[in-house]
Chain A
């Protein structure tokens, strides 16, 4: 059965700290791995990773994928209170049909205290 596991489940840090969120997966027909930030409503897209070892970066956020070890990390440096959210990892898997599907992890709840 395909699965995506995120750790830790929750994390409390202070502003300015650096955090690393983990996502491991067991998926057949892997296509890509995506990170989303979910505040109070719908998830918003952060990164899409398809190749091992190539870091994607956006401001203070960065992410990298290891397809050999089947995991990805999301780093946030110099955290701010606005980074408080649930971070979702999803793996896109191909099932041979007309569409791929996203398999989501349960998310990591990050709380950044002032």
Chain B
């Protein structure tokens, strides 16, 4: 299994541009999550999904959109990039929401710089 994969690894955007961060998992996990991590900070949840066709907002959803058309893929869309969106973005997935010893599996991250 490849686990959780993210593309691109790094991207520079100009203010106002749009882009999609890709995330895919091959573990047949129902639950998928997008986090952002600002320098020196913990991870903050942007959006999450409990299955294909179902998404919901996390702590910091403004400026982002998501879709979940398949179990495997959970892309994150930035419509009008702003400098405040400069961050490292992590995608994660989990099989169930609460199982003893369960945890979220994280992708390698996408580093985004908005200038």
- Partner-B contacts on A (CB < 8 A): 4, 31-32, 34, 41-45, 48, 50, 88, 90, 92, 94, 97-102, 104-107
Contacts of A100 in B (CB 8 A): 97-98
B113 at the interface (CB under 8 A from A): no
Contacts of A98 in B (CB 8 A): 50, 54, 97
B58 at the interface (CB under 8 A from A): yes
Q: Assess the B50–A41 pair: CB atoms within 8 A.
A: no
B48 at the interface (CB under 8 A from A): yes
The digit string for B93-107, where 1 denotes a CB below 8 A from any CB of A, is 000011011111011
Q: Assess the B107–A42 pair: CB atoms within 8 A.
A: yes
Considering the chains assembled together, what is the distance between the CA atoms of A48 and B99 in angstroms? 11
21 contacts between A and B (CB under 8 A): A4-B42, A32-B98, A34-B103, A42-B90, A43-B90, A44-B106, A45-B103, A48-B101, A48-B102, A94-B98, A97-B56, A98-B50, A98-B97, A99-B48, A100-B98, A101-B58, A102-B43, A104-B42, A106-B42, A107-B40, A107-B41
Q: Assess the B31–A104 pair: CB atoms within 8 A.
A: no
Task: Please name the 5 residue pairs, one residue from A and one from B, whose CB atoms are nearest each other, closest first.
Answer: A104-B42, A42-B106, A99-B97, A98-B50, A104-B43
B61 at the interface (CB under 8 A from A): no
